[in-house]
Chains A and B, each alone.
Chain A
């Protein structure tokens, strides 16, 4: 109890004297804030990208590609393959019709609004069942494309990031002209980065004959996946890979996410080293300035551990202030920022929104506290160990 009272008293004295050492304390805070701001901002890119790639997936959706291939772009399935896949058990059926869509995934050059240069925008050609497989997809402007027509609809994010995807606009791809007849939303998923059209007109226009790249299917239930997968992989006529939609999209975003995470963590770690050195300087000088004061307290019978705790408390308060400031800065600047990047795995653009989550902020602040701890512990122990007599003599 006495120890607690002592610690409380010394800590209070320490914190009250912070304004006297404002400049050097602010420097330490700025150091922490800089690290946390960069850490949170860079990882918000990875987080935003992860979200867009994972939110669209339904647990009862499955995707079938050619075996050994992990992207829609490189996959090929023949018409016969798609028929066999649609006949497999586990697919949800209405009036005997399977809820499955054989699709094509190509890219078309559309200028990016921010730079004016052409970008690889994904064009997904679907069968009618595609909409029932992704019920989250809703037309927010215009109307759906009519089957058999040279009409397309554009995702909300695609229309935002790329030029010329407004309702009523005409685009020329190859020998045909296509009209954008609608804009769709899909709960901020990766589908919103795409342009959709009817596979029966897109296929011939892109000279794909009767070949497809993937089959998307709605299963009877998430549990039906095992049966569906087993039936297809056991079929000697087929050479396919069956994945849950969620796993497929998570896999598609892996390389880019890893790159951002490696970079973000490396940069933040190195910056943290620099900031910790700065904090050590600040705290050492804080302790040095108060050497005689600390010695007096010790002479009066205050415990060494109370001194340690009080110095640590000061370092941690500075770290917390820096962490909160840096986190807020990142949140203000980065959160909600909309952009698009190239996902090399799918060789196409993905539009996404930088997202600062509470978890990310928490990680940033913990990071600052860890730096504060390291920056405080050595000066704190140093302060507690100072021989009382020597320190008092300096008076």
Chain B
């Protein structure tokens, strides 16, 4: 610690250079955090998706509906603990660009199968009692400035109400919150019964969500469900929620690889820039290092001084960059809300970032420190 002042003075001898190196490191870590948040946004849900939850969809495509009567058969499949259905409404709120998921559900079933949607008892009761009632995710309500008690008009698209009127008016009876940050808070749920009442019940639902008793036997149960409906007019495809999310992420493409590649290029470039500057700073001081050694500073201390300098710049720069991106993330989240409902810098990536900052300090200071250590005093003093 007593050498901190010396390290500090060394850094200040070329203030501009230190500042620019420092700033480029801040920017690199800011960018690192941002890319981590984007990647996480694309993969959102995969990690936490319940292994004990299965999705049963129409074999041809998830957009094809399934008969509502399948529910009883699914529930009677051995190993099934609970099941409920969901139906895509695909309506328009004011303008097509205000896109968000609207799902017709059985409220009790939804909240049983998705315990991560937190809804208070009063809201549950209100929702159950209100035929036109709906609940919205916190972020969704915030996006459109909805208050509980508001009436939300949504225009139907492919669901054709019998009365010929496209408008559905939903009463917002409450909001739901996610149990963790990974839970999507941008969906809108309303009574399936209300939808059926308006469109004349065709006896169809979108897909089923099945809770199994034992996650280890999930594949077995999935197979049993599909076998029940094999060779029927409505064949099904059942897989874990996680598998579905993964295949959706695959549908988007290899965003994760692209973002990792970009982050790697950024780091390589910054490493070059910072490393070069550090090396230069030490080279310029060869003479001084000789003086220090002459004065009795050990090789170890000299190495420590040089490394300390690079660690200080990389460490503080990295921490500042990560800190700034954590501060800026909510702003970016607002900007990207329509594209990526989940946007935050995961703690895991912050930890990786801190590790990388230390590594960067070691890597950029390592070579100059090593050469400073090896430098014979006579040689150092001779150089200017």
| B-binding residues in A (CB < 8 A) | 23-24, 27, 30-31, 34-35, 37-38, 42, 66, 68-71, 73-76, 106-109, 112, 114-115, 117-120, 173-175, 206-207, 255, 258-259, 262-263, 266-267, 270-271, 273-275, 277-278, 280-282, 284-285, 339-342, 347, 349
Contact = CB atoms under 8 A, between A and B. Distances in A.
Contact of A118 (B24, B35, B247): B247
A35 B273 CA distance: 13
Contacts of A37: 265
Interface in B233-259: 233, 235, 237, 246-248, 250-254
B233 A69 contact: no
B147 interface: no
B253 A284 contact: no
B24 A278 contact: yes
Given A119-B251, A120-B251, A271-B31, A73 B60 contact: no
B157 A69 contact: yes
Given A106-B63, A277-B27, 15 more contacts: A27-B273, A31-B272, A34-B266, A35-B269, A76-B158, A109-B61, A262-B335, A267-B34, A267-B35, A274-B270, A277-B273, A278-B269, A278-B272, A281-B273, A342-B253
Contact of B273 (A106, A107, A270, A274): A274
Contact of B60 (A24, A108, A267): A108
A347 B273 contact: no
The list of the 6 closest CB pairs from A to B, nearest first, reads A278-B273, A34-B269, A74-B157, A117-B247, A277-B24, A277-B20
Interface of B: 16-17, 20-21, 23-24, 27-28, 30-31, 34-35, 38, 59-64, 90, 92, 96, 155, 157-158, 160, 166, 233, 235, 237, 246-248, 250-254, 262, 265-266, 268-270, 272-273, 276-277, 280, 335-336, 338-340
Contacts of A263: 38
Given A73-B63, A277-B273, A68 B92 contact: yes
Contacts of A76: 157-158, 160
A342 to B, nearest CB: 4
5 contacts: A23-B276, A76-B160, A117-B246, A277-B27, A278-B276
Contacts of A339: 253
Given A38-B265, A69-B157, A75-B158, A255 B339 contact: yes
B335 to A, nearest CB: 7
A292 to B, nearest CB: 13
Contacts of B247: 115, 117-119
Nearest to A254: B97
Nearest to B204: A207
Contacts of A207: 64
Given A74-B157, A284-B16, A274 B272 contact: no
Contacts of B273: 27, 31, 274-275, 277-278, 281
Contacts of A282: 276
Nearest to B279: A23
Contacts of A270: 27, 30-31, 34
A190 B275 CA distance: 47
Given A73-B63, A117-B250, A349-B251, A278 B157 contact: no
Given A75-B157, A270-B34, A277 B61 contact: no
A74 B272 CA distance: 51
A267 B262 contact: yes
A68 B237 CA distance: 33
A70 B96 contact: yes
Contacts of B235: 174
B63 A347 contact: yes
Contacts of A107: 61, 63
A266 B33 CA distance: 13
Given A27-B272, A68-B92, A277 B253 contact: no
A395 B349 CA distance: 51
Contacts of A114: 250, 254
B1 to A, nearest CB: 29
A342 B255 CA distance: 11
B61 A120 contact: yes
A112 B166 CA distance: 37
A76 B156 CA distance: 11
B6 to A, nearest CB: 23
A342 B251 contact: yes
A259 B339 contact: yes
Nearest to B21: A281
Contacts of A173: 60
A339 B254 CA distance: 10
Nearest to A78: B160
Nearest to B159: A76
A267 B273 CA distance: 18
B60 A174 contact: yes
B64 to A, nearest CB: 7
B238 to A, nearest CB: 13
B253 A341 contact: yes
